[in-house]
Structure 1
Amino acid sequence: MIYPNNFEQKIGFNEIRSLLHQRCLSTLGKEEVDRMEFSIDTNQINQWMEELREFRRIQEGVEDFPLDNVFDVRQSVARIRLQGTYMEVDELFDLKRSLETIIAIVKFLSAGEERDDGEIRRFYPALYALADGVATFPILVQRISQIIDKFGKMRDTASPDLLQIRRELARVEGSISRTLNSILRAAQSEGVVEKDVAPTMRDGRLVIPVAPGMKRRISGIVHDESATGRTVYIEPTEVVEANNKIRELENEERREIIRILTEFAKQVRPHVAEILDSYHFLARIDFIRSKAELARLFKAFEPKISPEPQIDWIRSVHPLLQLSLARKALAANVDESIEQKPNTVVPLDIRLTEDKRILIISGPNAGGKSVCLKTVGLLQYMLQCGLSIPVGDRSETGTFHHLMIDIGDEQSIENDLSTYSSHLMNMKNMMKQADNRTLILIDEFGTGTEPQIGGAIAESVLKQFWQKKAWAVITTHYQNLKHFAEDHPGVANGAMLYDRHEMRPLFQLSIGRPGSSFAIEIARKTGIPDEVIKDASEIVGSDYIQSDKYLQDIVRDKRYWESKRQTIHSHEKELEKTIAKYEKEMEELRESRKQIINRAKAQAEEMIKESNRRIENVIREIREQQAEKEATKRLRQQLADYEASILEGDGTIPANNSKGNGKKPANKQDMRNSGLLSDEDFQKKIDEIKNRKERHEQHKKDKTERKQAAVESLRTAIQKQKDGKTIKEGDSVRIKGLTSIGKVESIDGKQAVVIFGGMRTKMQLNRLEHADTASIQESQKQFQAYNYSRETRETIDKHRNQFRQELDVRGLRADEAINQVQYFIDDAILVGAGQVKILHGKGNGILRTMIRQYLNSIPNVQSFRDEHVQFGGAGITIVEL
């Protein structure tokens, strides 16, 4: 139960919903936000929290979550349940993209690894539970892709009839364009139409702009005139029938598109229910994502919720206050010394347990009591709605069945309720509904009437809450309520701390002692005359003043000892770290000492074995050689040399690397390990190794540089040979700066006819260069790997036949004009045009400047210039290709 009805408004939860709305990707998630409600099912809340944890882990991971296209087309899908209905092309495009998103999400959440028992361990089990059983429709997506292209337009190949209609439409439009251009050129030559005029579109029909005085010189239908009346738009008689044909073809095209969409709707209709269920899953994912984004904004945490009521929050903050202060600090650099409140929220440690179920908070006005109360209400409500809350990760939370609040002025003229009467109505309802799973939040308990009776009634109501074992956070200034906690187990006092020296609130909650209102100090700070303050003190009595002063001293002393305790705790932590560090180092030393001793023992054992072998060898050789004097002397000398090698270096035992051959250790490193190599000799050896490595690196670097120089020299020689070689008929060439390889068919002076991929192009010889063997082979491979289709050749021929050497971009936006110029220049290069015109008009010269900047970036553009002043001047650009 939530009381009263405007509970969400009172604690600020409406703003939380608004922030969630802003982070949703579509109306799907927004509807889920609107449906979000308070839950008392602990298992359900923990499930929500686990979904959030997993999604935030996905966001922090390397792999992106596939949530790119989220569209709400549920109404369109539901509409096609009726026979004969269909979805429009743009709706079908949104359906395709959102179904692709659902397929990708289900695949992402189904990922896992197989365990030893054959079961699949999902990486995100809570989110997978949402995706499990969701239907996906890859076949429908594939069919839509056959109908609609990647830009959301109906494909020509969606049906044979549509392809035929559009081809006929293109043919008729081309015919009209050629006829109009012919008429226009004739009219321009006769002076009927200005030189810079081009055909335009009016009411879906191609027309020619003509001055009103010349309209009778062109036979046709007047369709429109300009706003100024200086231009009329005439459809020549020669193209009227063709324009009518276009209208008919457009109607046929629309009918064929509707037929295709209707046929596709028949395929979708049996799956409407499953598709709508898939969109419900997509809505849940969008909703979870918005909750994760909000948790990131608030730096929130998803705690584990227990079924029993409890609040043990460490470093909790009010999220909306935190956001508001952050925005203010960002908007303006405020001097904190002037402000009473800090620019950051002071975290609160709040604890309600079975032993201390009711917390009575007192303290100065504007000290943060109401913020503390609202923090408890908002965070608990957010938690039981499935949202992360900004508390420390060691916080513990529980579940309440009822949340009740009394805060602010609820007076009503309509219902004849005063402020105090409205408070009493709330108290009555709370006492009626309260139980041991109810959390009650009351601000300024007992105010609104005469203090003595108000305090007495408040104490009686508080006693009822205590008897019902309800949980509560209550703010007050009444002394009798502060004393109530001392006499009733399960009730605790809390104080909002105040700095008496700087005369400012600290916004810190201290549980265990009641707080002072600091009324005398605050009055003195605001400038109330001392005489008034003295009279007030005499009126209230010295006992009250002294008790309040003692209370302030207790709070001050508690703050002091709390600070000391924190300092000691910090020092203890540092000491523990230092002790742990030393213990680790001592353990490492012990381990190192053990390894050294074991190594020395192994070396000693090996030395003894080696000595025994040598002695046995000497004895055997003396016996075999029958103790000849010289042989015996030689063998004894060898044994003496070996003994000297062992004793060398102050008797340190060397590592045996001789393998029974009587030699000294194989290298100086072994000798250093055994103690036979001095530090100076060892350092010399290290320096020799470093120098040898540096010489090796330098040698490799010099070798690489020599190779690069040789390659560059060879490349330069080949290029010079190419440049000096004359291009002849039959040579393989390419256009400078391009990679396409062509063959020279004929040469006429400085012009050459070159065949590129079966297409002849005429161009200047100085724009061509010989193609090297590697490029020719690569071109042949590409030509072999790619076959031009008949349709492609027809398209190229169509471009050549329909190409006209003028382009009119007047009246277009800059981006549209540049786009048309790009296609126009590409077509001109394709058909081998040597010169083209671009009509852009004069105006402010912006369009002219941007077009010429683009032309500068094209390698195939030789030059460009203004048209002759008689034919348009700076309003036309002549481009040489």
Structure 2
Amino acid sequence: MNEKVLHTLEYNKILDQLTEYAFSADAKSRCQKLRPITDRAQIEQLQQQTSDALSRLFKYGSLSFSGVTDIRDSLKRLEIGGALSAIELLRVCSLLESAKRAKAFARSQDDNDQPDDSLTSLFAGIEPLTPLCDEIRRCILSEDEIADDASSTLHSIRRSMRGMNDKIRAQMNSMINNTTTRSYLQDTVITMRDGRYCLPVKAEAKSLVPGMIHDQSSTGSTLFIEPMAVVNLNNEYKELQLREQEEIEVILAGLSNLTASYATQLLADYELLTELDFIFARAAFAQTYNGVAPLFNDDGRIHIRKGRHPLLDPKKVVPIDVRLGEDFRLLIVTGPNTGGKTVSLKTVGLLTLMGQSGLHIPASERSELGIFDEVFADIGDEQSIEQSLSTFSSHMVNIIRILEQVNDRSLVLFDELCAGTDPTEGAALAISILSKLHLYGARIMATTHYSELKVYALSTPGVENACCEFDVATLSPTYRLLIGIPGKSNAFAISEKLGLPSDLITDAKGRISKSEGDFEDLIADLEKSRSTIEREQLEINQYKAEIESLKEKLEQKQERLDSSRNKILREANEQAYNILKEAKDVADETIRNFNKYGKAGAPVSEMEKERTKLRGKMDKAAQKMSEQKKASVPNHNVPKKLRIGDSVKVISMNLKGTVHSLPNARGDLYVQMGILRSLVNINDLILLEEDAAPGTKKFQKTSAGKIKMSKSASVSTEINLIGKTTDEAIPLLDKYLDDAYLAHLPSVRIVHGKGTGALRNAVQAHLKRLKYVKSFHLGEFGEGDAGVTIAEFKD
């Protein structure tokens, strides 16, 4: 990939941001050296590693590689038999502590029985070497301090040093406390010079304090003298210091030998941790802009969904949808200045470079990228004063270089192609260049203001128009990229809105040809049609959502009916089985008694007793059934006149149904209850006037003898409160909800608009107080968003 395009598309800024998430120097270097590659298998491997690392970050939190330092030079010195310093050994220890953290991080996944991923083998190869790490930490306390118990010899030497130190200080303190000697001293303190204990003696009294002079003050008034009384003690102390240093070197040599035995694994740990640091840096970077792994193809096909430029403010950037390389290989983007054309161009190029580098892209799932051998871009001001090149000449030099290198596996990006020269010649030249590149099979995206290129796109197969949407009413771009519609410059509309006199605008319109004017009008009509279609599509999606909701509720209701029917049939079968069983038991007992009394010649009185006993059981059962029937049938008004289609409730079954036939002479009629059709008596029914279906007209006599129509025939599924104050809206809403609930509407839409949010808060506070409101929520995409509240009623 050529370095020029990396600079043009600001790829280096992406690498600078990526580098901030790496810990080790080697990983930071790899971030800076990261370049797009063209091998699809390798690209997909890098993307998979980034995805797996990102998944682990979301599940288990961050992983620090702060202790990973380059120990390869130290390991090379160990190979040739050298010894390591305390600093180098502590770096080895820090590396092993990072390995220990990484191993623990990997075990958290194993504990949760998560499946293996592309990073499992990397984590598995890490060895914390805990014995080596613990031994180094035990012996070396810091870069300048070795522990006393690093060895028994060192412990003994330091104990002797402490004893000798106490002797020297005791001797010198006795001299300081001597009145005569104290008068010779510049200050009553004990100092160190060249590792030996000295006293600060006045220069004129040097002959009165016998000893060795080690130093003097800058003024020469003070001499630092080692008294003869402690020279031998200082010599012994110096010998102990030398023995201490020798023992420290022995300890470091022993630790170095121990480290050398693990050299191979230490090198592997360093390489694995550096690799993981690089991978997790890519994942942490992707986490900041909510990146996703794109799909790749070898056909040069690009389909970016909701793509966002990663260097723009994520709170302000407008996502774009871009297609290229499937139905068309050349996309010409038009529209007014500052409308987002260049940003769209750079977004496509930069996301392509990021994807081929193994970085996630800021877009929606299922975004697709082609793999290109080269990406070329001619964007920005290429003017060069040193080379005496104008803007047009500089761009042309760049375009010539592109034409020499381009092929069918290239992505070419042009910003304002052939601008900066005569418009007629520039447009003709631009069409020729694009036609040549199109012939080569390259994928091209170009921005322009030339109307000729819009016509070229409309009349050439494999070439498509696109535009960056512009709201003329507000004189502001929406930054949405619309494919399939050429853009309009809107120069006249913008000028008029800004206050340019109308006579100048009329004169300007008269100076363009009729064909050009008709073409611009055609573009305007297309834009108006597109807006209408989008608005209608939004309404259609809203209706679809409502239909799906109603369908789901009907299915749930049908399931409840089926469940009730099955329960009733099961209970009826159980009762019938018990009745038949009891009847069989009675019959068997009767037959046995008859045979017994018949054979034994028993008197008639005994048989009569048995018959009386059996009749008592039957009367008792009949009485129980009568009591159950009375308990189950409350006092109610028996319907006088029934019509087919009336809603009724079957008391004995506790089910609602619809009259399917008129009563016969005995009062029996068929009632349809869901899929169950049963013959019941009119005395077992209650007429349900309030269950009339919405949209049907029910009439009832009022006290005045007049006919009154049910409100269910006219209740809407939506109420619009926009423009109302809170005091005006709440009474209207309360009455509307009562009517809607009585009309058995499953849910309603309350349109209150966005505004300051006061009306929305008042509406939702009122809904919370209503017992018959099951739930409510703000509208989703396609339902009106935050300007609408959807309320659902209880069944």
| TM-score, structure 1 as length reference | 0.63
Amino acid across the alignment from 1:649: Q
Offset at 1:552? 2.9
- Cα distance in structure 2, aligned partners of 1:537 and 1:629: 120
Equivalent residues of 2:306, 2:364 under 8 A apart:
yes
One of 385, 396, 415 as aligned partner of 1:424: 396
Residue 347 of structure 1 is matched in structure 2 by: 319
Q: Secondary structure at the match of 1:508?
A: strand
- Cα distance in structure 2, aligned partners of 1:316 and 1:441: 17
- The correspondence of residues 169-248 of structure 1 with structure 2, limited to 5 A, is 169-176=161-168, 241-248=232-239
Residue 470, structure 1, aligned to residue 442, structure 2: yes
- Cα distance in structure 2, aligned partners of 1:223 and 1:538: 103
Amino acid across the alignment from 2:335: G
Q: Secondary structure at the match of 2:51?
A: helix
- The correspondence of residues 252-267 of structure 1 with structure 2, limited to 5 A, is 252-267=243-258
Residue 517, structure 1, aligned to residue 489, structure 2: yes
Alignment root-mean-square deviation, CA: 4.2
Change (3 A) 1:605 1:479: same
Residue 280 of structure 1 is matched in structure 2 by: 271
Offset at 1:189? 14
Residue 92, structure 1, aligned to residue 81, structure 2: no
Q: Secondary structure at the match of 2:441?
A: coil
Comparing 579-588 with 91-100, greater Cα deviation is found at 579-588
Change (3 A) 1:457 1:536: same
Deviations 1:592-615 (A, max 9, x none): 432343244224323432454356
Deviations 1:565-600 (A, max 9, x none): 133223323432342243234224323432343244
Deviations 1:734-790 (A, max 9, x none): xxxxxxxxxxxxxxxxxxxxxxxxxxxxxxxxxxxxxxxxxxxxxxxxxxxxxxxxx
Residue 314, structure 1, aligned to residue 312, structure 2: no
Change (3 A) 1:43 1:636: same
Amino acid across the alignment from 1:605: Y
- The correspondence of residues 442-521 of structure 1 with structure 2, limited to 5 A, is 442-521=414-493
Equivalent residues of 1:482, 1:493 under 8 A apart:
yes
Change (3 A) 1:54 1:649: same
Q: Secondary structure at the match of 1:383?
A: helix
Equivalent residues of 2:65, 2:273 under 8 A apart:
no
Residue 556, structure 1, aligned to residue 528, structure 2: yes
Residue 16 of structure 1 is matched in structure 2 by: 14
Residue 586 of structure 1 is matched in structure 2 by: 558
One of 641, 650, 654 as aligned partner of 2:620: 641
Change (3 A) 1:97 1:479: same
Equivalent residues of 1:358, 1:491 under 8 A apart:
yes
Amino acid across the alignment from 2:54: R
Offset at 1:207? 6.8
Deviations 1:337-371 (A, max 9, x none): xxxxxxx1111011113211111001000111110
Residue 164 of structure 1 is matched in structure 2 by: 156
Equivalent residues of 1:39, 1:385 under 8 A apart:
yes
Equivalent residues of 1:32, 1:284 under 8 A apart:
no
- Cα distance in structure 2, aligned partners of 1:484 and 1:601: 79
Q: Secondary structure at the match of 1:496?
A: strand
- Cα distance in structure 2, aligned partners of 1:86 and 1:52: 39
Residue 29, structure 1, aligned to residue 27, structure 2: yes
- Cα distance in structure 1, aligned partners of 2:186 and 2:629: 113
Comparing 239-248 with 209-218, greater Cα deviation is found at 209-218
- Cα distance in structure 2, aligned partners of 1:579 and 1:639: 51
Offset at 1:34? 2.6
Amino acid across the alignment from 1:70: V
Offset at 1:186? 7.0
Change (3 A) 1:634 1:530: closer
Amino acid across the alignment from 2:85: E
Amino acid across the alignment from 2:280: R
Residue 549 of structure 2 is matched in structure 1 by: 577
- Cα distance in structure 1, aligned partners of 2:233 and 2:136: 33
Q: Secondary structure at the match of 1:564?
A: helix
Equivalent residues of 2:68, 2:270 under 8 A apart:
no
- Cα distance in structure 1, aligned partners of 2:221 and 2:499: 79
Deviations 1:469-510 (A, max 9, x none): 210110000111111111111111001111111111111111
Residue 49 of structure 2 is matched in structure 1 by: 51
Deviations 1:674-708 (A, max 9, x none): 99xxxxxxxxxxxxxxxxxxxxxxxxxxxxxxxxx
- Cα distance in structure 2, aligned partners of 1:355 and 1:562: 22
Equivalent residues of 1:32, 1:283 under 8 A apart:
no
Q: Secondary structure at the match of 2:69?
A: coil
- Cα distance in structure 2, aligned partners of 1:543 and 1:616: 106
Equivalent residues of 1:111, 1:123 under 8 A apart:
no
Q: Secondary structure at the match of 1:320?
A: coil
Change (3 A) 1:581 1:113: farther
Offset at 1:201? 6.6
Residue 703 of structure 1 is matched in structure 2 by: none
Residue 295 of structure 1 is matched in structure 2 by: 286
Offset at 1:204? 5.7
Change (3 A) 1:403 1:25: same
Equivalent residues of 1:314, 1:392 under 8 A apart:
yes
Equivalent residues of 1:360, 1:492 under 8 A apart:
yes
Q: Percent identity?
A: 31
Amino acid across the alignment from 2:398: N
Residue 703 of structure 2 is matched in structure 1 by: none
Amino acid across the alignment from 1:57: S
Offset at 1:9? 1.6
Equivalent residues of 1:109, 1:123 under 8 A apart:
no
Amino acid across the alignment from 1:386: G
Residue 661 of structure 1 is matched in structure 2 by: none
Residue 723 of structure 2 is matched in structure 1 by: none
Deviations 1:42-63 (A, max 9, x none): 1111111111121111112247
Offset at 1:181? 6.1
Equivalent residues of 1:24, 1:290 under 8 A apart:
yes
- Cα distance in structure 2, aligned partners of 1:587 and 1:647: 33
- Cα distance in structure 2, aligned partners of 1:58 and 1:246: 58
Change (3 A) 1:566 1:181: farther
- Cα distance in structure 2, aligned partners of 1:150 and 1:304: 50
Q: Secondary structure at the match of 1:420?
A: helix
Unaligned 5+ runs, structure 2: 633-651, 655-795
Offset at 1:384? 0.3
Amino acid across the alignment from 1:445: L
Comparing 430-439 with 385-394, greater Cα deviation is found at 430-439
Equivalent residues of 1:58, 1:65 under 8 A apart:
no
Amino acid across the alignment from 2:400: K
Comparing 399-408 with 368-377, greater Cα deviation is found at 399-408
Change (3 A) 1:624 1:212: farther
Count of residue correspondences: 627
Deviations 1:381-427 (A, max 9, x none): 00000001011113222322221111112233444433222212222
Equivalent residues of 1:111, 1:122 under 8 A apart:
no
Amino acid across the alignment from 1:86: A
Q: Secondary structure at the match of 1:391?
A: coil
- Cα distance in structure 2, aligned partners of 1:226 and 1:648: 123
Change (3 A) 1:416 1:646: same
Comparing 550-559 with 100-109, greater Cα deviation is found at 100-109
Offset at 1:108? 5.7
| TM-score, structure 2 as length reference | 0.69
One of 80, 83, 93 as aligned partner of 1:82: 80
Equivalent residues of 1:410, 1:423 under 8 A apart:
yes
One of 107, 121, 128 as aligned partner of 2:120: 128
Unaligned 5+ runs, structure 1: 115-120, 327-343, 654-672, 676-881
- Cα distance in structure 2, aligned partners of 1:588 and 1:151: 76
- The correspondence of residues 793-804 of structure 1 with structure 2, limited to 5 A, is none
